[in-house]
Amino acid sequence: MDRLVLGDNQFFGINHMSEEKGRIQSIRFRDIEAVIKVIDFAYDSGIRSFMCTTHERIGLICDHMRKSPSRYATFQFLPCMPYAHKYVNAITEAGVLRAIKRFLPREGILDAMIRGGTAVASKDIDGLATLLIDAEMKMFDGLSTPIIFLQNVVVDLLLGLKFDNAFRIFAEHVKTRYQAEPGFITMNLPRLLSALEKIGITDPIICSNMNKIGFRMCGGPDAYNKALSAGHCRAFAMSVFASGAIPAEEAMSWLSGQPNIHGIVFGASTTEHILRTKELFGKYWAPQ
């Protein structure tokens, strides 16, 4: 499991501090070749893992890499699902039936429709959930996906509803069907860790915001420090720089003092940012 992971927010105009910065990045990366150029630089610099949503444009990157298997032999996708806007856009553009066909899993339309129809008829929540996971994973067919993450929008909603069994459904399907490890993204690591332990998911991979100012950290840095000190999860930190609010070296220095951080997910839109992040990572953690 790589410790330094490239994220994809910057490629799709997502900036949690500034809508204007997000808009500028969205314009810059409207050509998929510009996205691939940054990913290639990161990969050639030794960053082999790419955490990404299942945004429809990620499918273009998957297609590109399938065409050059030797070039990307050690490249790893870490998919995060679901990406709700994708389904809304597809239905708007193609209608319900064509949208369903577009996202059906790889084993074939008939099998998937039977599985989905049976699940609806029997009110089988497990069946419906696994069908949706398979639909999300369709674009990564034939590519390496060692960890598959459940997005924080869904994770935190399920936490609020106390529907913890959904995490078990997700984890078991990811392990059995894709031989991958399940990961969970959240804005509330302490509460999620407690919920996962109660249903028997031990040593989970959890990705959450971790930064000096407590930006989007539910409960604050002290609660995170206490939860991480127990060492019961493999924690990945994201939003380390708080969308640019914290100087890079200050952010990395603070994070290196937190217990049991297994890795960092960072967004970068320039080669300079990639090199600087890698340099700081090597300074405060063991070099890759």
**For the chain, percent of residues with pLDDT exceeding 90:** 62
Backbone angles phi, psi at 206, to 5 degrees: -125, 125
Per DSSP, 151 falls in state P
- Average pLDDT over every residue of 35-57: 94
Which pLDDT belongs to residue 128? 66
133 vs 186, residue with greater confidence: 186
Arithmetic mean of pLDDT over the chain: 85
Residue 176 CB contacts under 8 Å (≥ 6 apart), including other chains: none
- Beta strands of the chain (E only): which ranges? 4-6, 49-53, 76-81, 147-150, 181-186, 205-209, 234-238, 261-266
- Average pLDDT over every residue of 58-78: 97
Q: How many CA atoms lie within 13 A of 219 on its CB side?
A: 16
Segment among 88-102, 157-171, 195-209, 222-236 with least mean pLDDT: 88-102
**What confidence tier does 120 reach under pLDDT thresholds 50, 70, 90?**
very low
- Average pLDDT over every residue of 216-233: 91
Q: Which among 136, 137, 261, 284 is positioned nearest to 206, based on CA atoms?
A: 261
Do residues 186 and 192 touch, judged by C-beta distance below 8 A? yes
The model's pLDDT over 123-152, given as tens digits with 9 standing for 90+, comes to 445 766 787 888 889 999 999 999 999 999
CATH architecture under which domain 4-82+143-284 falls: Alpha-Beta Barrel (3.20)
DSSP, residue by residue, 34-69: HHHHHHHHHHHTT--EEEEE--TTHHHHHHHHHT-T
Q: Which among 180, 170, 172 is positioned nearest to 77, based on CA atoms?
A: 180
- Average pLDDT over every residue of 236-263: 92
Which pLDDT belongs to residue 113? 46
**What confidence tier does 219 reach under pLDDT thresholds 50, 70, 90?**
confident
Rounded CA separation 144/130 (Å): 19
Tokens of 8: 């994809």
- Average pLDDT over every residue of 12-17: 62
Q: Does the pLDDT of residue 179 top 90, yes or no?
A: yes
Rounded CA separation 92/260 (Å): 44
Do residues 38 and 12 touch, judged by C-beta distance below 8 A? no
Per DSSP, 258 falls in state S
Which pLDDT belongs to residue 132? 81
Tokens of 180: 């991958």
Cα distances (Å, whole numbers) of residue 52 to 82, 151, 176, 283:
11, 10, 22, 26
